[in-house]
Every structure is written in structure tokens, then in C-alpha cells.
Structure 1
Amino acid sequence: MGLVIIFGLAAILGIFALISAFKNKNFLGVLFALGTVAVFGWFSVMTVLNNGYPTGH
């Protein structure tokens, strides 16, 4: 579950970076931030779908 949290935080920070890069018209930053959001967001979603959401014990 810790891996999903780290991937999710990286994706959320990538969204903030994407917004900031759009505001500053930094197109290379937009490219890298979009790649970060796509990769880490995909990894976090697929990790939850593959391993399932843990139940409380």
C-alpha cells in the first residue's frame, strides 16, 4: 500500500507542476509534468486494481 501512496503523491505533485508550467508558458516543463502525471497516475491506478484496496483489520 505504501507504493500506491508514493505513486499517488508523485502524480498529485505532477498535476501542480503541470499547472505551474502552463502558467509560466514553459512548454518543456509541460511535457515533463504531463509525462509524470501519466506514468505515476497509471502506476498508482493499476497497482490498486491489481492488488486490490486493503481492508482494515
Structure 2
Amino acid sequence: MFLSITLLLVAILSAIGIARELRRKNFFAVGFAAISFVVFGAFSIATIVSILTTGGGAPTGH
């Protein structure tokens, strides 16, 4: 559960970074923040779903 909360926190901070860098018109940083948001958000959601459905930790893939 700690992993999913940490990944979700990083995704939220990346979303804040997207908004901040859009105001500064720094599109290179917006791109990296958007990629981080998508990757960390997907992994956090997958981990949370895995914990709720199987009762385990990270997704195993089998």
C-alpha cells in the first residue's frame, strides 16, 4: 500500500508541475511532467487495483 500511495503522490506532484510550467511557457518541462504524470499515475492505479482485487502488492502479470 505504501508503494501505491507514493506513486500517487508523485503523479499529483507531476500534475502540479504541468500547471506551473504551462504558466511559465516551458514546454520542454511540460512534456517531461506529462510523461511522469501518465507513467506514475498508471502504475499507482494498477497497484491500487491489484491490492483491491487480489489482496497482494504490485501487479504480477500472470
Considering the TM-score relative to the shorter chain, is it more than 0.5? yes
Gaps of 5+ in 2: 56-62
Identity of aligned residues (%): 35
Gaps of 5+ in 1: none
TM-score by length of 1: 0.88
Aligned residues: 54
1:4 is the counterpart of 2:7: no
Please name the residue that 2:46 is paired with. 46
Flag as ranges the 4+ runs of structure 1 deviating above 2 A: none
Q: CA deviation at 1:23?
A: 0.3
Higher RCO (CA < 8 A, seq sep 6+): 1
RMSD: 1.4
